[in-house]
Amino acid sequence: MTAAVLVLTGVSLVLAVLAWWPKSGSTPAIVISGVMLACLTAGALLLLAGHGVQGWRETWWNILLLASGSLAVAGGGPLTTSVLALVDRGNTRSQSTQQAGEVLRGGALIGALERCAVYGSIVAGWPEGVAIVLAIKGLARYPELRSPDQPASVTPQAVAERFIIGTFTSVLWSILCAGLLLSK
């Protein structure tokens, strides 16, 4: 079972890297992100069906630590943009969360740092760190979320939706990746 979990995590990591090549939110990116999520979920289910990581050799646990941490940071970006693209289907241009990216600049870098901090907090056994990360992000983004100087092509609701959906997707992804290590 250890090998299967490591292989599924490794495949997820490869898919996370591949998901950065197609255009963000395109059908290939959405499909790759979906398969990545399915592989990681399958690995998590294997751990839940067995005894988790209890009894694993330290070397294998350390490999899972590095792989799932890398996956938390690298895979969250394509997964989040895929979720936002799915949310946008059928929306008008002014309601588009993709257009709201004009207002919320730096989202990819901020998201990567956020996922790294959330993953580290959970793995370190300090879940309070997640609240601190979210508070800092919310306070830092507040001026952009409430600014009256937004482009006419974007509604304030779309900007708020992008922030909320992106943050929740990113944080939940990081927690799922960290959860692999905490299964016992």
Domain-wise residue ranges, the chain: 2-182
Between 42 and 104, the higher pLDDT residue: 42
Between 57 and 152, the higher pLDDT residue: 57
Tell me: pLDDT of 87 over 90: no
Q: What is the pLDDT of residues 65-85, one digit of tens each?
A: 999 999 999 999 999 989 988
Q: What is the pLDDT of residues 119-171, one digit of tens each?
A: 999 999 999 999 999 999 888 877 776 766 666 566 777 777 888 889 999 99
In three-state secondary structure terms, 71 is helix
pTM over 0.85: yes
Could you tell me the pLDDT band of residue 24, with boundaries at 50, 70 and 90? confident
pLDDT for the residue 103: 54
pLDDT for the residue 25: 84
pLDDT for the residue 84: 86
Q: Looking at residues 114-121, what average pLDDT do you find? A: 97
Tell me: pLDDT of 29 over 80: yes
Q: What is the pLDDT of residues 88-110, one digit of tens each?
A: 777 665 555 555 555 566 678 88
Cα(101)–Cα(110) distance, rounded to whole angstroms? 13
Tell me: pLDDT of 59 over 60: yes
Cα(18)–Cα(158) distance, rounded to whole angstroms? 28
Between 12 and 109, the higher pLDDT residue: 12
Cα(15)–Cα(151) distance, rounded to whole angstroms? 35
Could you tell me the pLDDT band of residue 114, with boundaries at 50, 70 and 90? very high
Contact between residue 178 and residue 123 where contact means Cβ atoms under 8 Å apart: yes
Cα(99)–Cα(110) distance, rounded to whole angstroms? 18
